[in-house]
């Protein structure tokens, strides 16, 4: 009986014009979303709602009873950015449809990145409204537990991405939703030792950190490494990768507690960048560094070449504090230093990163988990700073 009811509702819904695809690299197909005021924001925990023909549900062996009941609704819950500086709106949006070559992923968890926060502040190129943000996700696709590589269309050159390179979550609708449709080639098996929340914390930060530490940083076992801003999502993964690879790793942080926590995770210690003499303290502790991984930039960057060993590499992947002033190039050329920029990574690096994390049983640090319905609070956590590791939203919690 419920099957017939579901079928009737489904057939009626397919006549509606409300549901059009929301996932595509083609901007013309983006976001026919309904927004604040047109839908009540409810958090009923109602199950997501795949637009799958009923006969397909019946014949697919992995389909479970809860999924079967989802046919009663063709909307899903998502967190949507409607304009700059506006609180994120949690509510109903149309289900995505899988374009050719795409697969629908039922998301269990999605992690925040500083990128998402920059976008909410209007500080990112190419922002479109409304947009479902979110580059990091873990979930289930066709019965397989997966994580999503958020680096789309890297292209053929390993050294730099193609012109069509994109990061999931702008303009392609992202992972702060119950479902996302992504190209099938972006899916990788979720490392079995990770929970969904831990796995969601891995993709963007893990990829960026892997390329920074190994491809660009050319880390060797025994190297003395400095990772700045240890509480950051990418920084902490860079720290974990370097420790697992046999390096001696120091950190900076604005929190003594963060430094202590990295010591418990195999680190050598570090210095608080809020103290005037932080770079001297580091030099006393380590002697000098063979590799520095930095995303802070700002004035502190000018001190980094001075605490490098000859032949060292400084890898930069971010500019949290803005422009660098007072940088003297004397130590750069006298010590034969390399300053290298990096962003995200290519498909092979993503694959190697997942393999490395699996082999060394690395567990990304999750600072906190918020129900997706409380996504605004998750963004406020990032905005306030002081986190240790990744802030994650759970589609299954609350
Ligand atoms: N190029 C890429 O592919 C790429 C990828 C990801 C991120 N990024 C960029 O990299 C930066 C970090 O991203 P994220 O997602 O890891 O951010 P995040 O998790 O929000 O971490 C930012 C961290 O910056 C640290 N920090 C703040 N002030 C600092 C200072 N004066 N000196 C040193 N560290 C300081 C803090 O560490 P403590 O709390 O320990 O003090 C904080 O945890 C952002 O600018 C982001 O846009 C770039």
pLDDT digits (tens, 9 = 90+) for 207-247: 999 999 999 999 999 999 999 999 999 999 999 999 999 99
Torsion from C-alpha of 349, 350, 352, 357, nearest 10 degrees: 130
Mutate to test the pocket of ligand 1, among 201, 241, 295 (most ligand atoms within 8 A of CB): 295
Q: Mean of the pLDDT values across residues 60-69?
A: 34
Same domain, 335 and 371: no
Same domain, 35 and 7: yes
Ligand 1 closest atom vs CA 118: 47
Domain assignment present for 96? yes
Cα separation, 263 vs 267, in Å, equals 4
Same domain, 7 and 150: yes
Q: Mean of the pLDDT values across residues 258-279?
A: 98
* Domain extent at residue 312: 206-341
Q: Mean of the pLDDT values across residues 14-29?
A: 30
SS3 state of residue 313? strand
Same domain, 9 and 94: yes
Q: Mean of the pLDDT values across residues 104-113?
A: 98
Q: How many angstroms is it from 296 CA to the middle of ligand 1?
A: 6
Same domain, 158 and 253: no
Please report, for the domain that includes residue 242, its CATH number: 3.90.180.10
Q: How many angstroms is it from 232 CA to the middle of ligand 1?
A: 5
Same domain, 195 and 322: no
pLDDT of residue 397: 79
State the pLDDT confidence band at 107, using cuts at 50, 70 and 90: very high
Within the chain, where are the H helices?
2-14, 54-59, 65-69, 114-120, 196-200, 203-210, 233-244, 256-264, 278-286, 330-334, 347-359, 375-384
State the pLDDT confidence band at 18, using cuts at 50, 70 and 90: very low
Query: What are the tokens at 177?
Result: 């939703």
Same domain, 304 and 292: yes
**Closest Cα to atom 22 of ligand 1:** 232
Same domain, 40 and 168: yes
In our burial notation (b when 16+ CB lie closer than 10 A, e otherwise), range 235-272 reads bbbbbbbbbbbebbbbbbbbbeebbebbeebebbebbb
Domain assignment present for 352? no
pLDDT of residue 54: 31
Same domain, 214 and 151: no
Say yes or no to pLDDT of 52 above 50.
Answer: no
Give 20 or 185, the one with higher predicted confidence.
Answer: 185
Domain assignment present for 40? yes
pLDDT of residue 368: 98
Q: How far is CA 56 from the centre of its chain?
A: 32
Q: How many domains does the chain have?
A: 2
Ligand 1 closest atom vs CA 317: 1
**Closest Cα to atom 21 of ligand 1:** 232
pLDDT of residue 3: 36
Domain assignment present for 357? no
Same domain, 259 and 318: yes
What is the pTM (predicted TM-score) of this model? 0.85
Share of the chain above pLDDT 70, in %: 81
Q: Read off the pLDDT of residues 131-150 as tens digits, 9 standing for 90 and up.
A: 999 999 999 999 999 999 99
């Amino acid at each position: 009986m419920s099957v017939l009811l579901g079928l009737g509702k489904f057939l009626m819904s397919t006549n509606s014009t409300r549901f059009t695809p929301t996932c595509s690299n083609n901007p013309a197909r983006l976001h026919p979303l309904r927004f604040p005021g047109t839908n009540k924001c409810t958090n009923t925990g109602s199950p997501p709602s795949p637009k799958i023909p009923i006969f397909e549900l019946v014949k697919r062996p992995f389909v479970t009873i809860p999924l079967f009941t989802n046919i009663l609704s063709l909307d899903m819950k998502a967190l949507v950015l409607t304009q700059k500086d506006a609180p994120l709106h949690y509510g109903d949006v149309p289900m995505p449809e899988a374009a050719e070559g795409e697969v629908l992923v039922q998301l269990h968890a999605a992690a925040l990145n500083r990128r998402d926060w920059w976008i909410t502040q209007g500080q990112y190129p190419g922002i479109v409204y409304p947009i479902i943000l979110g580059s990091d996700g873990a979930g289930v696709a066709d019965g397989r537990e997966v994580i999503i590589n958020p680096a789309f269309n890297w292209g053929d050159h390993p050294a730099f991405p193609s012109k069509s390179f994109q990061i999931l979550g702008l303009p392609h609708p992202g992972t702060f939703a119950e479902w996302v449709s992504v190209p099938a080639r972006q899916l990788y098996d979720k490392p079995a030792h990770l929970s969904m929340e831990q796995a969601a914390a891995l993709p963007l930060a893990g990829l960026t950190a892997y390329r920074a530490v190994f491809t660009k940083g050319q880390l060797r076992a025994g190297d003395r490494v400095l990772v700045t801003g240890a509480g950051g999502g990418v920084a902490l993964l860079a720290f974990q990768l370097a420790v697992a690879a046999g390096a001696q790793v120091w950190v900076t942080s604005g929190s003594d507690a963060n430094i202590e926590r990295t010591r418990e995770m195999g680190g050598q210690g570090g210095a608080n960048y809020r103290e005037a003499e932080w770079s001297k303290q580091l030099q006393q502790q380590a002697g000098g560094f063979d590799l520095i991984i930095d995303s802070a930039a700002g004035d502190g960057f000018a001190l980094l070449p001075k605490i490098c060993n000859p032949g060292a590499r400084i890898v930069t992947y971010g500019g949290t504090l803005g422009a660098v002033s007072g940088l003297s190039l004397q130590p750069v050329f006298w010590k034969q230093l390399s300053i290298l920029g990096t962003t995200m990574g290519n498909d092979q690096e993503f694959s190697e990163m997942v393999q490395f994390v699996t082999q060394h049983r690395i567990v990304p640090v999750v600072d906190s988990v918020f129900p997706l319905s409380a996504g605004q609070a998750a963004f406020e956590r990032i905005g306030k700073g002081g986190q240790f590791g990744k802030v994650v939203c759970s589609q299954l919690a609350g």
